[in-house]
Structure 1
Amino acid sequence: MTPGTDLTGYLTRYPQEAGLSEEDPAAVLDRYHTEDYELVNDGVLLDRTRLLDHIRPVRKRAAGLRVEVEQALVDGDQVAARYRLIAEMSKGDIITTEVYMFGELAPDGRLRRAVQATRPIAST
Structure 2
Amino acid sequence: MHTLETSTPARFIADFFTSFTEAVVHGSEDPADIMARFHTRDVVQITDGVRLDWDRLVAHLRPVRRNLTEFRFEVHEALANGNRIAARFTIHARLRKSGPVTTRVHLFAEFTPEGLLRRSEQLTRTLDPAEPDQEG
Same fold? TM cut 0.5: yes
Pick aligned residue for 2:50 from 30, 44, 49? 44
* Partners of 1:3 and 1:57 in 2: CA distance: 28
**What runs of 5+ residues in structure 2 fail to find an aligned partner?**
7-11, 131-136
Change over 3 Å in CA distance of 1:3–1:83 after alignment to 2: farther
Question: Quick check: 1:67–1:86 contact (8 Å CA) kept in 2?
Answer: yes
The TM-score with structure 1 as length reference comes to 0.87
The TM-score with structure 2 as length reference comes to 0.80
| Cα-Cα RMSD | 1.8
* Partners of 1:71 and 1:19 in 2: CA distance: 25
Deviations 1:65-93 (A, max 9, x none): 22111112222021111111122111351
**What runs of 5+ residues in structure 1 fail to find an aligned partner?**
none
Question: Quick check: 2:3–2:114 contact (8 Å CA) kept in 1?
Answer: no
Tell me whether 7-16 or 73-82 shows the greater mean CA deviation.
7-16
Deviations 1:71-122 (A, max 9, x none): 1222202111111112211135111111110011224331110000000002
Question: Quick check: 1:2–1:110 contact (8 Å CA) kept in 2?
Answer: no
**Alignment pair present for 1:76 and 2:82:** yes
Which residue number in structure 1 is paired with residue 63 of structure 2? 57
Pick aligned residue for 1:113 from 95, 116, 119? 119
Pick aligned residue for 2:25 from 12, 15, 19? 19
* Partners of 2:98 and 2:50 in 1: CA distance: 28
**Which one scores higher on RCO, CA 8 angstroms, separation ≥ 6?**
1
Tell me whether 34-43 or 99-108 shows the greater mean CA deviation.
99-108
